[in-house]
Amino acid sequence: MILAVLFVFLASTLNHRIDAAECHGKPDGNAQPNSNPIYSQAPRLVKTIGNGKHYTVGNEQDSFDIIHVWGSPYMMGRAHGLLMGEKAKNMVDAVWEYMENQIIDPINKTVHLQEWFLKDVADFGLDAALDLELLATKRHTGSYFFEEAMGLSDAAGIDYQKILRIHMIGELTKGSCSMIGAWGSSLKTPNSLLQLRALDWAVDGPFKDFPQVTVYHPTNSSNGHAFANFGWTGWIGSITGMNSRQMAISEIGVSFPDETFGKESRFGVPFTFLLRDILQFDNTLDDSIKRISDASRTCDLILGVGDGKDRRFRGIQYSASVANFYTDSDLKPEATWHPKINDTVYYGMDWLCPGYSQVLARQLQTYHGQLTPELVATHVVPIVQTGNLLVAVYDLTKNMALLSNARASYESGPANAYDRQYVQLNMTELFNERPPNTIVF
């Protein structure tokens, strides 16, 4: 039966394109800088197990979890489950319920799902629709993902298939986000590389209640090197993060492409796994350029990859049809609202989004030559009003990150991450965290 359904599914590879359309939103002209002091105290140890550690960091109203896991993919997933237990299960269950509600209640939905996916749900049901997507992407997905998911499932008592299904959400939705890559003459300290990843997505959903940094320490080189996933409890794909090779990722969903994107596809590597592979396995920007160029790609995106070792950043136009790599001199799209700025690559909320891109360009031009991670956090992001769910500002030369999360349902204060307190993370210390005295495998 599943093969018959797949045959129908195979015929529906995406060709849909939105032409001659732009996003019409723009920031509030009265937006104010973020005046919160940056939290810089060390993480606090909560729990240690054989191959994992759990810390918390930040003030009570802006705290989040940090976990360290060591071992094989299965054992790192198992450590995640043992450390976070019921919290991981609650997060997976809450995301599943949220996905169901977004489909069942079209009046109140705030996540815009792909039309082809909604058709699959109508024809086959939600479980089967997601299983079809998993089937279409399985051969492009590293085995580590399934092994880690099984370890998480076994330790936390989470339904294994449900873990896999919720990780398809990135392929099915269009988030509006922003990014910056800045170096050289744009910075206060020219011999460095600064990168922004602002995530605008679903602050009404469960993600805001489970912020977590997961630091992976593979014990076999075949499983890559140390990297940090900035995301949520129970989440093992990557859309934000850094690695121990001074590299970082950014990502923007594209709802308003132009004809240069060509086609989308449902058959390829889910982008959250491709981005994780960059963090987990790549040593240089050139490694990532090759990985992206060679990949079987799927949906329309703008990606960003920075390498602090040689202070290089590329913005990437990404679809099933194209992988184009841009720097400051050849930045696309070419438009009066998207001016070229020396030693800066930037995108505001989408590919064709004049309202946000203009304000982002203005802030970058105003502070050109003065940019620091702190200034981006306090005087760029909140004025552009981007990063409602999560903001990460990376200093890839100093190996430092500033991280802010949206207001959780149990917190008070401003709702959006860009208006809340940032926590400073010393990534060198996180990657050099010593394992427990006895790692049990």
* pLDDT, tens digit, 9 for 90 and up, residues 334-372: 999 999 999 999 999 999 999 999 999 999 999 999 999
Dig out the tokens for 179 from the structure.
Answer: 């990014």
- pLDDT value, residue 108: 43
Backbone angles phi, psi at 394, to 5 degrees: -105, 135
For the chain, what's the residue count?
441
Cα–Cα nearest to 423, from 407, 398, 402: 402
Measure Cα distances from 140 to 114, 136, 225 in Å: 21, 9, 21
CB under 8 Å, gap of 24 or more: what pairs does 131-135 form?
A: 131/2, 131/161, 131/165, 132/5, 132/6, 132/9, 133/168, 133/171, 133/172, 133/266, 134/164, 134/165, 134/168, 135/2, 135/6
| Backbone torsion region of residue 60, taken as left when φ is above 0, otherwise alpha when ψ lies between -120 and 50, otherwise beta | alpha
Indicate the pTM of the whole model.
0.91
- How big is the chain by its Cα radius of gyration, in Å? 20
How far apart CA 417 and CA 426 sit, in angstroms, is: 20
Contacts of 5 (CB under 8 A, 6+ apart): 124, 128, 132
What secondary structure, in 3-state letters, does the chain show? CHHHHHHHHHCCCCCCCCCCCCCCCCCCCCCCCCCCCCECCCCEEEEEECCEEEEEECCHHHCEEEEEEEECHHHHHHHHHHHHHHHHHHHHHHHHHHHHHHHHCCCCCCCCECHHHHHHHHHHCHHHHHHHHHHHHHHHCCHHHHHHHHHHHHHHCCCHHHHHHHCCHHHHECCEEEEEEEEHHHECCCCCEEEEEEEECCCCCCHHHCEEEEEEEECCHHHCCCEEEEEECCCCCCCCEEECCCEEEEEEECCCCCHHHCCCCCCCCCHHHHHHHHHHHCCCHHHHHHHHHHCCCCCCEEEEEEECCCCEEEEEEECCCCEEEECHHHCCCCECCECCECCEEEEECCCCCHHHHHHHHHHHHHCCCCECHHHHHHHHHHHHCCCCCEEEEEECCCCEEEEEECCCCCCCCCCCHHHCCCEEEEHHHHHCCCCCCCCCC
Backbone angles phi, psi at 263, to 5 degrees: -100, 155
Cα–Cα nearest to 275, from 257, 299, 259: 299
CB of 427 within 8 A of CB of 230? no
How far apart CA 61 and CA 63 sit, in angstroms, is: 6
How far apart CA 185 and CA 396 sit, in angstroms, is: 16
How far apart CA 340 and CA 361 sit, in angstroms, is: 9
Angle between helices 285-294 and 271-281 (to 10 degrees): 150
Longest Cα separation, the chain: 61
How far apart CA 155 and CA 75 sit, in angstroms, is: 10
Say which CATH superfamily domain 174-209+243-428 falls into: Penicillin V Acylase; Chain A (3.60.60.10)
Dig out the tokens for 233 from the structure.
Answer: 């409890």
Q: Is 126 exposed, middle or buried (0-12, 13-18, 19+ CB in 10 A)?
A: middle
According to DSSP, the β-strands at 193-200 and 64-71 are: unpaired
For the chain, 441 residues long, the average pLDDT of each consecutive 10-residue run is 36 42 90 97 97 96 97 98 98 90 55 52 65 83 94 97 87 81 97 97 91 96 96 96 98 95 90 96 98 95 97 97 98 97 98 97 98 98 98 97 97 97 98 81 46
Contacts of 330 (CB under 8 A, 6+ apart): none
Spans of all domains in the chain: 174-209+243-428
CB of 438 within 8 A of CB of 50? yes
Tens of pLDDT along 208-249? 999 999 999 999 989 999 999 999 999 999 999 999 999 999
